[in-house]
Structures are given as structure tokens and as C-alpha cells.
Amino acid sequence: MIWYLVLIPLLVYVCLVIWFIKGWVGIRELGIRNQELGIMVSVIIPCRNEANTIQTILKSLDQQKFDFKNLEVIIVDDHSTDDTLGVITNYELRIRNFKPLVVKLSENEFGKKSAINKALKNTKGELIVCTDADCEFGVDWLSIMTSAFHSSEIKMVTGPIMFFERPGFWNQMMQLEFLSLIGIGAASVQNSHPNMCNGANIAYRKSAFYEVNGFEGNEHIPSGDDEFLMHKIYDKFHGGVQFVKNHEAIVYTEPPQNFNEFVNQRIRWGSKAGHYKSFKSKLLPAFMYLFNVMLFLTPVFYFVGMSWTLIATLWLAKLSIEIAFFASILPFFRSSKILDLVIPAQIFHVVYISVIGVLSVVKNYNWKGR
């Protein structure tokens, strides 16, 4: 009889996913507002060893439908060991609408947070838009990401991200898993409990950054320039964080090139959760992890007395509610074709969450050769 207690976390999980669905569906699509405010916008691009990708993002920025009189682009080089700086210098001649300011970190400075801090000291803009050097986006991206700030109550926005479409079962599985994180993050913002975002597509008021003392308190953590800042801004300005739901606001980035890169990336992301300040922020990842561990251990539970019907109930209930979740978010990303991967993704997701949770605590990760 004690085995039926597992239905309690199952019920919590189902209710949680319904909460995510409600949040996602409740987000109104943000349209493009005109730029009548005339506020200077500063785009910050930290980079390290991006010689192969930096041209793409510069081209994307040069093609923006935006008032370039109110735009500056600051690239911060984090001790690149390839020809990133040379590529930028050569490509500048082909840029029509802006001239990027290139800043280098000193010998005592390194990492993304240092790069953003240094860029902020050189910015003229009140609105700060951050992205990564290996990204690409459509011509309306910047206009849409800044449109939310027509409301003075908005202090920070997070935007949608997805991987470039790549052929193959593994790439589609990664896309599905990645979009689930974006959907959960967006829904949580809408439900007034923001937990996740991605630094490749965020924007905030510079004044808000300094009012919450920026990255103070988590400078020692290599990652988390996005989520820790979002938590601090939300705590200071309740209701001041918004998700930008518009397909043209999507930022595209390269997926991990192999399984080792995927694991390394997820360890890096997972390592942040233990440093969240608030109990509420820690509760969601902790519950999601423990629920997946419970499913991971069901083969063991079967041999020590759990009935196969109860095990089937757990897995089928999880599958059913997740199909509903993905059916709600995938049309926005125009990726409904990967909905049929939800079934084979079940075992992969449970196993990888269980393993990554342990590795993020006991194993270090590498980023750009560090």
C-alpha cells in the first residue's frame, strides 16, 4: 500500500505542468511598437574564440529594422586565442549602419560577467540588450525586444531561443528538450515566479541593473549572468519582468555538436540551481529532479514490490501531460513536427536529468577552453 504514495508527487507534477501550460497560453503576443521614445539602446556581445561565428551576428545586427542613431554595439573580447579580433576588424568595412566598439578584458578580468560589467562602463544606452556571439536573428528582433520597455514598469525582458534546425534524430531530441526549458521559463515569468532565462536573448534597463547591484553576490559563479540578475530584478521590481512572445524575437543558436558538449552544457546550467538565493527558486528544480529520479528508479522499485500497473500509471501520466505541454508551445516555434518525439524522449529525459543532477554537483565543466 505504501507504494501508492508515489501518486502524490505524480499529482504535483501534473498540476505543475498544467500551471506551465496555463502560463504559456496566457502570454499575450507582443507586437512591434514604434521607437518614439528615442532611448539609446546598447547591444552587448561578450565573445571568446568566435572567429567562425562573429560575422553572422554582426550581419544580423546590420540588417535590423531599427533607428541606428539610437543604437550602439559593444563587443567584449574575453582573451580570445583565435582570430576573433582580426575577423571583426576585417568585417567592419562591410557594416553599413553602425561601427562596433571593441573592448578587451584585462589580464585580471575574465568571464561573461566581467565582460558585461566592462561593457556597461562604456555604454551610452539606457536599454541594455545582451546576446551571444554565436547567435543569429531576424530583422525585427531588436525592435521587438525593446518594444516592451514602452511601459515604465518593465525593467527586464527575456526572449525566446531555439537551436538552428539540424537534421538527425539526436538534434531533434535536443531541440525538443531545449524548447521545453524555454517554455517553462516563459510560463514561470507569466505566472509571477520567474526561474529560468537565457542570456543569449535578454534586455534590461541599465538603471535597474545598478539598482540591484548587478552581479554582486554571485561574481564567483562562472555562469548565471542571466538568471541571477532576473531574480534580483524581479525581487526589487515585482511585475517588472516580462517574456517577449513573438516569433520574430527568436534568437537562433547552434546546438551542442556532440554528446559530450551536450552533457558539459547541461552540467554548466545545472550548477547554477544550488546558488539560487530564494527558496522558491530552488524548489522547482529540486522537485523536478527528485520526480525524475523516482521514475529512473522504477525498475528497482518493481523488483522490491511496486506493481507494474502503478509504474505504468506514473509513466503514462507523465507522457500524457507532457504531450499537452509540447502541443501548446511547439506551434509558436513552428516545430510541431517534432511532437512525435515526446514518446521516445521520455526515457532519455528521465535518465539524463537524473545523471546530470549528480554530475552538476560533483563534476566541473569546461567553457571555451576553461
Tens-place pLDDT, residues 134-190: 999 999 999 999 998 988 899 999 999 999 998 889 899 999 999 999 999 999 999
Q: Can you give the pLDDT at residue 325?
A: 97
Residue 252 DSSP one-character state: E
The CATH homologous superfamily for domain 29-270 is Spore Coat Polysaccharide Biosynthesis Protein SpsA; Chain A (3.90.550.10)
Q: Can you give the pLDDT at residue 366?
A: 65
Band of pLDDT at residue 260, cut at 50, 70 and 90: confident
Q: Can you give the pLDDT at residue 361?
A: 62
Q: How large a percentage of the chain has pLDDT more than 90?
A: 64
**Amino acid letter for position 189:** V
Q: Can you give the pLDDT at residue 269?
A: 67
Pairing of strands 101-104, 135-137: unpaired
Q: Which residue has the higher pLDDT, 217 or 11?
A: 11
Can you list the positions of beta strands (E) in 210-286? 241-243, 251-253
Q: What DSSP assignment string belongs to 82-119?
A: SSHHHHHHHHGGG-SS--PEEEE--TT--SHHHHHHHH
- Assess contact for 123 and 72: CB atoms under 8 A: yes
- Assess contact for 25 and 328: CB atoms under 8 A: yes
Strands across the sheet with 251-253, in order? 135-137, 251-253, 161-163
pLDDT at 56 over 90: yes
For range 117-138, the mean pLDDT: 94
**Amino acid letter for position 336:** S
Q: Can you give the pLDDT at residue 246?
A: 96
What does the mean pLDDT of the chain come to? Answer: 89
Radius of gyration of the chain (CA): 21
Q: Can you give the pLDDT at residue 98?
A: 93
HSE toward the beta carbon, residue 154, CA cutoff 13 A: 21
Residues 6+ apart with CB under 8 A from 118: 76, 103, 105, 109
Q: Where along the chain do its domains lie?
A: 2-23+278-362, 29-270
pLDDT winner (highest mean) among 107-111, 275-279, 325-329: 325-329
Q: Can you give the pLDDT at residue 182?
A: 96
Band of pLDDT at residue 363, cut at 50, 70 and 90: low
pLDDT at 238 over 90: no
For range 78-102, the mean pLDDT: 92
Residue (of 323, 324, 301) closest to 311 by Cα position: 301
For range 118-143, the mean pLDDT: 95
Q: Which residue has the higher pLDDT, 75 or 217?
A: 75
Band of pLDDT at residue 258, cut at 50, 70 and 90: confident
pLDDT at 68 over 60: yes
- Residue 192, Ramachandran bin (φ over 0: left; ψ between -120 and 50: alpha; else beta): left
Count CB atoms within 10 A of the CB of residue 179: 21
